[in-house]
């Protein structure tokens, strides 16, 4: 039985975004091993039927000695478990797991899901990260990109030129879980932003837009935030700042949820004014699958989810004025107009972003890696 590993920087990520991939791999007869840090979701992964191996990964850490230990841990796992193929997700796993996999004879398939700011900023850390991408991704067997912009960056920087690379429709979305639910027609337009509470996701612009819209429309608009606050991340909104915004009375903070579909169902429109280098934002895929119109920025990854004026509106990145204008258009088009726009969102997701498309591409890639190893 061939062994397939799935590696990411948290068990939470794998359970929430890759559990159907695990189920399909098990159904196909593969032995599946998850390699990730231990958290509250590790046990739930084991309950799916896969094995779990803990590894220590500092998501935001910059200590090179700890990262060398992580590389060594990966190498020990691959040598000791005789893994045939590893599917890597999240940046440090794409880099360190790939180096270790290559050294131990394991094939690596990497998902490049948004490159953040490391290919934009010109500082020592960005240079080091770009260098690590260059030496590691050349050792991968297959690279999957979620948008053309990231694929072009790899080409411009001459990274992994001899490695097979393909486009994926984001991470896909489970169309059976995220199904169409229309918001209430009660005269209130409810906007929802689902994301990690990072400033680069446009959180502050959303709050500024909320101030303007609440002043103009009062209780006829409602603006909600849903997502994780990570105060260890220097780009994160702090708990104290969030409390100030809530006390101001312009937004509601809904915390975190494993059932985001319950909150999306209540929304008239889902908003993401991100200026971060996204892959394809999962929150927008889920919103579209549930028949919601979208307001998002004309930015990497985000624009892939929206055909402007068809299933949503694109605003200019880092422009509160543009964001307000697009949200006002959503208010003015009326309930039936938003429902019709939401129908087109659902159709776009069905046509382009069905999770089954992504899973089939991974199965094909895994089979190709295994067959090539057999030939060699």
Mean pLDDT, rounded, of the chain: 94
At 368, list the tokens. 């190709």
What is the pTM (predicted TM-score) of this model?
0.90
The CATH number that domain 3-172+354-375 falls under is 3.40.50.2000
Q: Do domains 3-172+354-375 and 189-352 have the same CATH topology?
A: yes
Q: Which CATH class is domain 189-352?
A: alpha beta
Give me the pLDDT at residue 177, please. Answer: 95
pLDDT tens per residue across span 26-49: 999 999 999 999 999 999 999 999
pLDDT tens per residue across span 206-216: 999 999 999 99
Indicate if the pLDDT at residue 117 is higher than 80: no
Reported as a pLDDT band with limits 50, 70 and 90, residue 269 is very high
HSE-up (13 A, CA, CB side) for residue 12: 8
Q: Where do the domains of the chain lie?
A: 3-172+354-375, 189-352
């Amino acid at each position: 039985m061939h062994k397939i590993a799935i590696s990411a920087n948290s068990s939470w990520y794998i359970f929430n975004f890759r559990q159907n991939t695990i189920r399909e791999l098990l159904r196909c007869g593969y032995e599946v091993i998850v390699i990730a840090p231990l958290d509250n979701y590790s046990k739930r992964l084991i309950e799916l039927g896969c094995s779990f191996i803990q590894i220590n990964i500092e998501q935001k850490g910059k200590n090179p000695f700890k990262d060398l230990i992580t590389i060594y841990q990966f190498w020990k796992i691959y040598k000791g478990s005789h893994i045939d193929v590893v599917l890597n997700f999240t940046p440090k796993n794409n880099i360190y797991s790939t180096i270790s996999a290559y050294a131990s004879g394991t094939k690596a398939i990497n998902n490049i899901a948004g490159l953040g700011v490391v290919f934009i900023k010109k500082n020592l850390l960005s240079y080091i990260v770009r260098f690590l991408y260059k030496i590691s991704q050349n050792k991968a067997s297959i690279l999957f990109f979620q948008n053309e912009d990231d694929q072009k960056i790899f080409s411009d920087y001459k990274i992994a030129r001899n490695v097979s690379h393909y486009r994926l429709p984001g991470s896909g979305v489970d169309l059976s879980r995220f199904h169409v639910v229309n918001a209430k027609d009660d005269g209130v337009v409810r906007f929802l932003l689902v994301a990690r509470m990072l400033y680069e996701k446009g959180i502050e612009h959303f709050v500024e837009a909320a101030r303007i819209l609440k002043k103009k429309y009062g209780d006829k608009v409602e603006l909600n935030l849903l997502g994780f606050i990570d105060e260890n991340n220097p780009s994160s909104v702090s708990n104290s700042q969030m409390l100030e915004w809530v006390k101001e009375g312009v937004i509601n903070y809904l915390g975190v949820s494993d059932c985001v579909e319950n909150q999306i169902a209540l929304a008239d429109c889902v908003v993401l004014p991100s200026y971060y280098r996204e892959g394809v934002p999962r929150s927008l895929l889920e919103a579209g699958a549930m028949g919601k119109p979208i307001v998002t920025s004309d930015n990497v990854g985000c624009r892939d989810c929206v055909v402007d004026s068809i299933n949503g509106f694109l605003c200019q990145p880092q422009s509160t004025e543009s964001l307000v204008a697009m949200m006002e258009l959503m208010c003015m088009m009326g309930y039936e107009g938003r429902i019709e726009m939401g129908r087109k969102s659902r159709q776009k997701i069905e046509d382009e972003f069905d999770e089954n498309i992504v899973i089939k591409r991974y199965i094909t890639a895994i089979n190709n890696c295994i067959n090539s190893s057999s030939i060699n």
